[in-house]
Amino acid sequence: MESLEAIRNEFPILSQEVYGKPLVYLDNAATTQKPRCVIQAIEAAYYEANANVHRGVHYLSQLATEHHEAARRSVASFIGAPSPEGLIFTRGTTEAINLVAFCAGEAFFLKPGDEVLISTMEHHSNIVPWQLMCARRGARLRVIPLTPLGELDMDAFRSLLSERTRLVSIAHVSNVLGTVNPVKEVTRLAHEAGALVLLDGAQAIAHTPVNVEEIGADFYAFSAHKIYGPTGIGALYGRPELLDRMPPYMGGGEMIEKVTFEKTTYNSLPFKFEAGTPDYVGSRAFAVALDFVRQIGLETIARHEEELLAYATERLRREFPESFVLGEAPGKGGILSFGIGQIHPFDLGTLLDRMGIAIRTGHHCAEPLLASYGHQAIARASFALYNTREEVDRFFDALHRVVPMLS
Q: 188 and 230: one domain?
A: yes
> What's the mean pLDDT in 69-84?
97
pLDDT the model gives residue 378: 97
Give the pairing type, strands 87-90 and 21-22.
unpaired
In this prediction the pTM is: 0.97
Distance, CA of 238 to CA of 104 (rounded, Å): 11
Chosen domain end from 294, 314, 337: 294
pLDDT the model gives residue 55: 81
Q: 63 and 195: one domain?
A: yes
Q: 60 and 154: one domain?
A: yes
pLDDT class of 1 with cuts at 50, 70, 90: low
Q: 148 and 254: one domain?
A: yes
> What's the mean pLDDT in 37-64?
95
Chosen domain end from 274, 294, 314: 294
Distance, CA of 31 to CA of 254 (rounded, Å): 30
**377 is a domain residue:** yes
**175 is a domain residue:** yes
Q: 98 and 216: one domain?
A: yes
pLDDT class of 277 with cuts at 50, 70, 90: very high
**33 is a domain residue:** no
252 DSSP assignment: S
pLDDT the model gives residue 110: 79
Percent share of the chain, pLDDT over 90: 96
**257 is a domain residue:** yes
* Helix (H/G/I), strand (E/B), else coil: 38: helix
Name the residue range of residue 351's domain: 4-26+297-406
Q: 108 and 239: one domain?
A: yes
pLDDT the model gives residue 7: 95
Closest to 158 in 3D by CA, of 146, 169, 144, 172: 144
Q: CB neighbours of 131 closer than 8 A, spacing ≥ 6?
A: 141
Cα–Cα distances (Å) from 122 to 130, 242, 297, 347, 392, in that order, read 11, 24, 28, 26, 28
Task: Specify the DSSP element, H or E, that contains 206.
Answer: none
Residue 258 has pLDDT above 80, yes or no: yes
Provide the sign of the torsion angle of the four alpha carbons 360, 361, 365, 367, taken in this order.
Answer: positive
Q: 168 and 301: one domain?
A: no
Question: Residue 342's CB: how many other CB atoms inside 10 A?
Answer: 8
Q: 219 and 268: one domain?
A: yes
Chosen domain end from 243, 271, 294: 294
pLDDT class of 56 with cuts at 50, 70, 90: confident
pLDDT class of 269 with cuts at 50, 70, 90: very high
Q: Out of 37, 103, 134, 365, pick the active-site residue.
A: 365
The answer to whether 178 touches 120, Cβ cutoff 8 Å, is no
Residues 343-397 have pLDDT tens digits of 999 999 999 999 999 999 999 999 999 999 999 999 999 999 999 999 999 999 9
Residues 293-330 have pLDDT tens digits of 999 999 999 999 999 999 999 999 999 999 999 999 99
**31 is a domain residue:** no
Q: Determine whether 365 is an active site residue.
A: yes
Residue 46 has pLDDT above 60, yes or no: yes
> What's the mean pLDDT in 65-76?
98
Residues 207-255 have pLDDT tens digits of 999 999 999 999 999 999 999 999 999 999 999 999 999 999 999 888 8
Share the mean pLDDT of the chain. Answer: 96
Q: 361 and 226: one domain?
A: no
**182 is a domain residue:** yes
Per DSSP, helices labelled H in 224-362 are: 240-245, 280-296, 298-319, 345-354
**124 is a domain residue:** yes
Q: 47 and 9: one domain?
A: no
The CATH number of whichever domain residue 371 belongs to comes to 3.90.1150.10
Residue 2 has pLDDT above 80, yes or no: no
Terminal Cα distance for the chain, rounded: 42
> What's the mean pLDDT in 155-173?
98
Q: DSSP letters along 309-332, please? A: HHHHHHHHHHH-TTEEEE---TT-
**34 is a domain residue:** no
Residues 103-159 have pLDDT tens digits of 999 999 878 999 999 999 999 999 999 999 999 999 999 999 999 999 999 999 999
Q: 284 and 364: one domain?
A: no
Task: Specify the DSSP element, H or E, that contains 264.
Answer: strand 264-266
Q: DSSP letters along 83-144, please? A: -GGGEEEESSHHHHHHHHHHHHHHHH--STT-EEEEETT--GGGTHHHHHHHHHHT-EEEEE
Name the domain count of the chain: 2
The CATH number of whichever domain residue 281 belongs to comes to 3.40.640.10
Distance, CA of 97 to CA of 269 (rounded, Å): 18
Q: 329 and 391: one domain?
A: yes
